[in-house]
Amino acid sequence: MSALRVTDPPSGGGLALKSDGGALVLCGGKAFCSGAGHATRALVTATTPTGVQMLIIAIEHGTRVCPSPISLAGMRAAATGGMDLSGLNVAPDALLGGEGDYLREPVFSAGAWRSSAAALGGLSALVNIHRQDLLGRGRAQNPHQSARFGQLVIAHETARLWLEQAAVRGCLEDDSPEAIVAYINLSRLAVEAACLDAMRLTQRSLGLSAFIAGHPAERICRDLATYLRQPAPDETLTNAAAYYCRPRPPQFP
């Protein structure tokens, strides 16, 4: 099992790669590590005296997990926790790419389409749960329920179309880095908005059932609401808007 871990603890003590007598050694740790104590391979970022380096490290199962006072409302099955990686020796062949490659554009920002794809998966599951609940209760023909379900389908298709284009542009990289990043940033926010609409519509239609622990809609909404908290949404929106709002705007979309 492998995992991606790039978030440094908010209180400091982020992961650093240091030289100790010619050997490479890690110091510090990572926060919000999915699969903490379970994943035995991790792709991490570590600071060096001159930049940021990606590397792949091996971790013994069940070790190096830090007690955390944070308990997330959603994504509990992800076994998220902190990891203390201090003292791990790093072999030269564990280095992935060169310093600065992790933050290189457009790959760094364009990779957000993959997170949006995961969110779209949650949205798709919510559409199915919503439909099955209405059919099971004989409420599918109620005009108010039909209207909400129709809006839910619109939200899903809107997210899917944005994501489809974002994936193509992010993978082909057939435009300028600025254009690719701006479009994918907008697609990320479009998917987020569609998911938030979907949760509101589902909770309105299913009523109290959508808030009962153990109900599929309750779990999906809880997990999705947590997962959608991706970093810097306001900055993402304003930067993308600035790209398209210029004296000679580029072709859009």
Which residues, including other chains, have CB under 8 Å from residue 156's CB and lie 6 or more apart? 120, 123, 124, 127, 194, 198
**CB atoms < 10 A from the CB of 204, how many?**
12
> Which domains, and CATH codes, for the chain?
2-96 (2.40.110.10), 107-244 (1.20.140.10)
Instruction: State the Cα–Cα distance between residues 194 and 155, nearest whole angstrom.
Output: 5
pLDDT tens sequence across 63-92: 888 877 677 788 888 788 888 899 999 988
- Give me the chain's average pLDDT, please: 90
Mean pLDDT of 9-25: 83
86-118 pLDDT tens trace: 999 998 899 999 998 988 899 989 999 999 999
Say what the pLDDT of residue 136 is: 94
Q: Which residues pair with 4 in a beta bridge?
A: 43
Q: What is the sign of the dihedral through the CA atoms of 71, 74, 76 and 80?
A: negative
CA 215, CA 133: separation in Å to the nearest integer?
11
Omega into 106 within 30° of 0, i.e. cis? yes
By the 8 A CB rule, do 156 and 243 touch? Answer: no
Q: How far is CA 62 from the centre of its chain?
A: 24
Q: What is the pLDDT of residue 27?
A: 92
pLDDT at residue 76 in the model:
80
pLDDT digits (tens, 9 = 90+) for 193-233: 999 999 999 999 999 999 999 999 999 999 999 999 988 99
